[in-house]
């Protein structure tokens, strides 16, 4: 969101999923689309097989969507930004840019031009491991369009260069005039069914509903009429919360629908933080590892047992209805929150608001976030959802953003350097010689790079058959049958060199800890890179990952780049 908001003024997906079908070129980065976003993938297949679309996929692994690609760019983990900057270089060098669009709709192109002057495909080849000719072909394909659509996911954002790479992708789209038209744009595939909705509601440390900056005068003026006095201040990011637990600046926590003991990086330090709390409240469907540490657990009802809205990746707000009554002893999250608010109101103050129903909550959402103002439960039901912004009750919703102008007026080209000093040591500021325009503390390196002791780069991620920490999917016998245990993907050359065979149990060790998993030898991953899903508590990938390597702007941990050693597990 930070990368796109800087460029466009809005951090949301620009186009709708259905438009993927009619794209001429689809450029997918760091997304295992068939496994994680099957509905988007169905449109990719249709575009490719029935409408002649060309497909470019950047991924260190030969995922099913990469196997389908006309151009598979098997980029080294952490090097996306070098790839994109080289594509920008080729486009400008060969005059493939959309000059009319740049002149009419954007600003700062000269700064971009100067910044990527030396980012030749040959320069990028050293960092990405890619053939310079392949980078040139990808740049030409993307620029030719006429409608080119970019989809990306966690292989882009879960790196220390995540925000800069998103901003660089915005540069790419603007340079070729691929924004504001059907089947173009920049489409971050949102992870959960309602992560877009959570952001729209202000569930981000820096923003309140509608992306109003927390702590600002605008926030005070906008929300005081709705809420009276409220905590108008910037919060902490995820990794800052767990470090706050460790240093004692956070004493209590209320965890709703999240299992940080397995999903946050560096499990040991996360557990240490949670154990230091004076009070932990967990609200979940199941007794997760996090809930086991709690002082109080509030059992919540599942999505099947409640009413409300979800806002999906294309900004479509959809109504869901109660299909089953809540299990005895559980309540929907909204009801628990409202009840807690009533109990916790300071003595002598007016009654906390009592919302009679989810629809009453939605009525307040419409007031708090103008993008939702024109939506009602009746309209959402009648239209199969509406895409925001939808400012009034006559408005049909907005599947495509930035059609006439960008949310910020002109689209802003940004400088996103990716400079690796030759032979620089890992862990120091060896990438980005401070030339990045994004704010941020010490410019991080490109992640934890391999060395003699930890020679492999570990990517952590997902399987099609499980969901995150597995607290839900591992209770399904059918899904368990398909994927009963963790496995580590490794290239045959690496396995041969280490004398390891398929199906052996191996131990994977990082600077933080070690786990055991079964070895899966496959040519569908780059040599030197290994992949471990994070679904399995008994082989928990986040025991290995690091919490102090984060994107300096967004604070996202570098979950896709951990240096590890692999050896036979003899225990």
Ligand X SMILES: Nc1nc2c(c(=O)[nH]1)N[C@H]1C(S)=C(S)[C@@H](COP(=O)(O)OP(=O)(O)OC[C@H]3O[C@@H](n4cnc5c(=O)[nH]c(N)nc54)[C@H](O)[C@@H]3O)O[C@H]1N2
Interacting residues toward ligand X by CB under 6 A: 29-32, 35-36, 58-61, 63, 75, 77-78, 80, 153-155, 158-159, 191-192, 256-260, 263, 283-286, 288, 300, 302-303, 333, 459-462, 464, 466-469, 471-472, 534, 541-542, 545, 559-560
* Per-residue three-class SS string for 177-241: CCCCCCCCCEEECCCCCCHHHHHHCCCECCEEHHHEECCCHHHHHHHHHHHCCCCCCCCCCHHHH
For the chain, the residue count is 571
Picking from 17, 59, 23, the residue whose alpha carbon sits closest to that of residue 42 is: 17
- Closest separation in Å from C-beta 299 to ligand X: 9
Which parts of 454-564 fold into alpha helices (H)?
477-482, 492-498
Choose among ligand X, Mo ion, none what residue 106 binds, the Cβ cut-off being 5 to 8 Å by kind. none
Please report how close the Cβ of residue 468 comes to Mo ion at its closest, in angstroms.
Answer: 8
Binding partner of 484, given ligand X, Mo ion, none, CB within 5-8 angstroms per partner class? none
C-alpha separations of 506 from 441, 486, 497, 499 in Å? 38, 11, 14, 11
Which residue, 32 or 183, is less far from ligand X as judged by CB?
Answer: 32
Residue 538: DSSP 8-state: G
Q: Which is nearer to Mo ion, 80 or 171 (CB)?
A: 80
In the complex, what is the shortest distance from the CB of residue 20 to ligand X, in angstroms, rounded to a whole number? 15
Decide: 263 and 469 in contact? Cβ < 8 Å: yes
457 binds, among ligand X, Mo ion, none (CB under 5 to 8 A by kind): none
Q: Give the contact letters, 153-192, x = binds to Mo ion (CB under 5 A), - = no.
A: --------------------------------------x-
36 binds, among ligand X, Mo ion, none (CB under 5 to 8 A by kind): ligand X
- 288 binding partner (options Mo ion, ligand X, none; Cβ < 5 to 8 Å by kind): ligand X
- 462, interface contact from ligand X, Mo ion, none, CB < 5-8 Å by kind: ligand X
DSSP codes, 115-182: HTTT--HHHHHHHH---HHHHHHHHHHHHH-SSEEEEE-HHHHSSTTHHHHHHHHHHHHHHTT-SSST
φ/ψ of 168, rounded to 5, equals -65, -35
* Residue of minimal Cβ distance to Mo ion: 191
Q: Does 429 bind Mo ion (CB under 5 A)?
A: no
Question: 211 touches which of Mo ion, ligand X, none (CB within 5 to 8 A by kind)?
Answer: none
Least CB distance to ligand X at residue 115 (A): 21
Nearer to Mo ion, 191 or 370 (CB): 191
Shorter beta-carbon distance to ligand X: residue 15 or 460: 460
- Taking alpha carbons only, the member of 406, 384, 403 closest to residue 316 is 384
CA–chain centroid gap for 413, Å, is 22
Residue among 59 and 98 whose Cβ is closer to Mo ion? 59
| Least Å from the CB of residue 459 to ligand X | 5
In the complex with ligand X, the residue whose CB is nearer, 106 or 161, is: 161
When the beta carbons of 22 and 302 are compared against ligand X, the nearer one is: 302
CB of 286 to Mo ion, least distance (A): 19
CB atoms within 10 A of CB 396: 11
* Closer residue to ligand X in complex, CB, 2/412: 2
Q: Of 19 and 333, which has the nearer Cβ to ligand X?
A: 333
Contact 175, 98 (CB under 8 A): yes
Separation of alpha carbons 110 and 118, rounded Å: 14
Nearest to 242 by CA among 254, 234, 250, 233: 250
Residues 505, 539 contacting (CB under 8 angstroms): no
Binding site for Mo ion (CB under 5 A): 191
């Amino acid at each position: 969101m930070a990368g796109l908001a800087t460029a466009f003024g809005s951090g949301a997906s620009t186009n709708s999923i259905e438009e993927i079908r009619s794209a001429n070129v689809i450029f997918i980065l760091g997304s295992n689309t068939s496994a994680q976003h099957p509905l988007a993938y169905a449109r990719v297949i249709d575009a490719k097989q029935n409408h002649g679309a060309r497909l470019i996929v950047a991924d260190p692994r030969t995922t099913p969507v990469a196997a389908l690609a006309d151009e598979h760019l098997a980029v080294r983990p952490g090097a996306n930004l070098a790839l994109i900057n080289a594509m920008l270089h080729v486009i400008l060098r060969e005059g493939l840019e959309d000059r009319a669009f740049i002149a009419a709709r954007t600003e700062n192109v000269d700064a971009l031009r100067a910044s990527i002057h030396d980012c030749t495909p040959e320069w990028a080849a050293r960092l990405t491991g890619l053939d310079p000719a392949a980078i040139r072909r990808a740049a030409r394909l993307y620029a030719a369009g006429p409608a080119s659509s970019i989809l990306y996911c966690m292989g882009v954002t879960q790196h220390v260069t995540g925000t800069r790479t998103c901003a660089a992708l915005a540069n790419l789209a603007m340079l070729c005039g691929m924004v504001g038209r059907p089947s173009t744009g920049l489409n971050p595939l949102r992870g959960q069914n309602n992560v877009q909705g959570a952001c729209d509601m202000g569930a981000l440390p820096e923003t309140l509903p509608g992306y109003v900056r927390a702590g600002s005068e605008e926030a005070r003026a906008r929300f005081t009429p709705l809420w009276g006095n409220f905590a108008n201040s910037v919060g902490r990011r995820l990794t800052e919360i767990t470090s706050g637990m460790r240093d004692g600046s956070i004493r209590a926590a209320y965890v709703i629908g999240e299992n940080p003991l397995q999903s946050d990086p560096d499990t040991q330090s996360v557990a240490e933080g949670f154990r230091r709390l004076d009070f932990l409240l967990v609200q979940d469907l199941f007794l997760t590892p996090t809930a086991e540490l709690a002082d109080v657990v509030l059992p919540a009802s599942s999505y099947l047992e409640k009413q409300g809205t979800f806002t999906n990746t294309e900004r479509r707000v959809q109504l869901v209805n109660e299909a089953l009554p809540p299990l005895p002893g559980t309540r929907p999250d909204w009801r628990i929150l409202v009840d807690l608010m009533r109990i916790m109101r300071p003595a002598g103050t007016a009654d906390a608001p009592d919302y009679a129903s989810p629809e009453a909550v939605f009525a307040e959402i419409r007031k708090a976030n103008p993008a939702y103002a024109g939506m009602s439960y009746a309209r959402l039901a009648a239209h199969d959802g509406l895409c925001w912004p939808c400012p009034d009750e006559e408005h049909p919703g907005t599947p495509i953003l930035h059609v006439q102008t960008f949310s910020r007026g002109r689209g802003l080209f940004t400088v996103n350097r990716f400079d690796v000093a030759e032979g620089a040591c890992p862990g120091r500021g060896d990438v980005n010689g401070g030339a990045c325009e994004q704010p941020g503390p010490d410019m991080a390196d490109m992640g934890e790079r391999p060395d003699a002791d930890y020679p492999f780069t570990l990517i952590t991620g997902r399987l099609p058959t499980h969901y995150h920490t597995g607290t839900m999917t591992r209770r399904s016998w059918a899904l368990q049958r398909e994927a009963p245990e963790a496995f580590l993907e490794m290239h045959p050359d690496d396995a041969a060199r280490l004398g390891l065979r398929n199906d052996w149990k191996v131990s994977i060790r990082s600077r933080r800890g070690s786990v055991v998993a079964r070895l899966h030898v496959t040519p569908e991953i780059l040599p030197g890179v290994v992949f471990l899903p994070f679904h399995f508590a008994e082989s928990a990938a986040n025991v290995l990952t690091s919490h102090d390597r984060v994107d300096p702007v967004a604070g996202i941990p570098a979950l896709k780049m951990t240096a590890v050693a692999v050896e036979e597990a003899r225990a």
